[in-house]
Structure 1
Amino acid sequence: MDQTYMKEQPVLKLILSMALPMVLSMMVSSLYNIVDSFFIARISEDAMTALSLVYPVQNLVNAVMIGFGIGINAVISFYLGAQDKEMADRAATQGMLLGTIHGIGFMILGIAVMRPFLQMFTGNAQIVDYGVRYSRIAFLFATALSWQLVFEKTFQAVGRMVESMTCMMSGAVINIILDPVMIFGLGPFPKMGIEGAALATGIGQAAAALLYLILYIANPLPVKYRKKYLKVDLRLWKKLYVIGIPASLNLALPSLLISVLNVILTGYGEVYVFVLGVYYKLQTFLYLPANGIVQGMRPLLGYNYGAGEHKRVHKIFRDGLILVLVMMTVGTVICLAVPGQLMGLFTANPVTMQAGSVALRVISLGFIASSVSVICSGALEGLGKGVHSLIISLCRYVVVIIPAAFIVSRFMGAVGVWHAFWITEAVTAAISYMVYRKGVKG
């Protein structure tokens, strides 16, 4: 399949055709996360608490694997744009080799450390037991998850977005269907409780990886996984990790931020911790579509950058920014207009709804400015500038917002934390554009 369409077709049409499948599949994945938590909460409150404690470790594993996948995506796209088919094949093969090593390593590590990790946070033996039982099965599928993500980023690198969407959605849908069946023992299945939830997740991941493999065989990609390229290639490993490690940190930083903000908010009352949790649930429905645009842009940017089409790179960046600005404007209007109704989806407590309404109105003031950071960070990853992208994420999630939240809250209470969000987005937008310009010139 000829990839030259990536530098010939109209830019906006290309971005939309590659981004829309990603937006849809990520919305389904977001729905799966909510459904999974819903069914586990039906087992018991202890089971849900155990899942909450295991989640940061799972999130870290996912961040590392997805971040490394972004490295694979960028390197393959670059070599395809440079018309270097052999190096694109080498990158894909080495990516699969390293992905397998990552999966096996996380499987062993995840199972080994979970009990002492859980005991650091709770003395409740039932919660620890639930967490260990869930983790033991969930981490057995770490290699399947890694294969799924390597396939996903390889398919996306060559523009096969619809097939990627199909595989991603299939895994999520299978998980959603199997959750109640395996947790509660419906039909011929035995009642497995929290182990059933872990097994449903693992089967969904394995099914998605298998479907990718079937599609890879049935409809070959422009890049191939080749046995002759399995020999360790340290120079290529360096290229993959130079992008993959910063991308992994980018994905892990929000978890760090939430933990720190929870510590600050706890001093003003648990209601604010609840509100922050609700905000992060709601904001996924805004930032996930934005991330879909970024995923559509990455291979286009990498290909055209490798092909030396710098004017086209600029146009891809500009059109992607406009699309995200539109999304963020809509999100701002909704949060300003109906914040109470949004909070009402999660609580009927009028005090909490009022506190949440204030939070949504204040935080949403930074949505439009955040468009610049989101696009600059994603574009730099697509261009292979992982360290530059990490600088932006560090500003958004650590360097600016944590000191701002701490200082402003000293004067305004919990509301000061909400103001720290828009202050951070405004400051980071300016920094992001400067970092992007420097990264592109470099």
Structure 2
Amino acid sequence: MAPQGVETASGMIAACSRGRSSGTPTRVKCSASPIEGAATLGSALAGRATRFETVLTEATGTAVILYTSGTTGQPKGAELSHANMVMNALTCWRLFGAVDDDVHLVTLPLFHSFGQTVQLNAGLYSGATLVLLPRFDAGTALALMERERVTFFAGVPTMYWGLLSAGREKVDVAAITAHLRMAVSGGAALPVEILEQVEKLYGVRIREGYGLSETSPVASFNHPGREAKPGSIGQPVWGVQMRLVDADWNEAPEGEAGEIAIRGHNVMKGYHGRPEATADVLRDGWFRTGDLARRDEDGYYFIVDRAKDMIIRGGYNVYPRELEEIMMTHQDVSLVAVVGVPHPSHGEEVKAFVIRQPGSQLTEDELVDWCRERMATYKYPRLVEFRDDLPMTSTGKILKRRLRDEA
């Protein structure tokens, strides 16, 4: 049976079970705290017929319009077809496998492609139980993992960062690790330091994947049954091609970084009502992502950075992710975001926004000196600002655009 709805201080938690393997009908149980001004599902369906005629649709018809998070610009609506959504859900099911009594903890927003496809659609298809937490809170998430015997967790890197901090407190880690079979990360680059700490604490290797709202979203993954390479977004999933291109869509030279381009059943129809924006990113079925990466000899892709996040300091290219990976290894650094800020002579200067470990007395000068010893002269951050938190989107991505505006 599906677990009972659970009321918490965080709001509504719902559990859904589809019983696919046993042939039993779908069962849904929800308990919810009322939201001011919002109609409940029950009130919307009150008085309506329980039987109705479905509308015939085409596989290429638009199923959803998902607006990009807009971390670097104005959000655009990615039009995804029924085929896009179904094929990507089935691809996830093939990747993750189906086990009896699979239980997903869903903390990702369901209006976002990551949560909607990877957990809602793929989870229901596989007959899994979905435990829904409407707003991520690390302590509540861990309590639910223990109580509901969660086997599958998907999240963005900042969620795993939160689980590390909460997991070092009064949590029965052994009870969680006894059932957790898979941890999936996406939405942003996962620092290797966080990956290694999670594996050490919870005994599960995070498998990182890659995709965008425009690709339904999953395009690549560290496939189960193959080597999972730390820092890699894996290899293309079934039915999807990836390549690295330059500004003119030409194939990037072997061994060099290039912009990821994707073609396959997952690529959107285009941006709703934005033909020029669509033409900028789609050509001959290929979608260019704006993400720079390199590919190793085994066909694994490694994100270098967002093209728009690259810092040009004194004519040299500086990739923030590289610096963030190094800074995350400092024992007093809990989380970091590196951005470029205007500079009168260099064009841009490198600045790091840092959350320190609890109780740390690390100073700005000490951290700058530490970075100077480990990074090239033109790369290390001359500016450091300590903060208690960093601005994030509703999906947990760090808003670097806001940090640049605030610098």
Into which bin does the TM-score normalised by the smaller protein fall? Answer: under 0.3
Q: TM-score, normalised by structure 2?
A: 0.26
Of Structure 1 and Structure 2, the greater strand share is in 2
> What TM-score comes out, normalization by structure 1 length?
0.25
Structure 1 or 2: larger helix share? 1
Q: Higher relative contact order by CA 8 Å / sep ≥ 6: 1 or 2?
A: 1
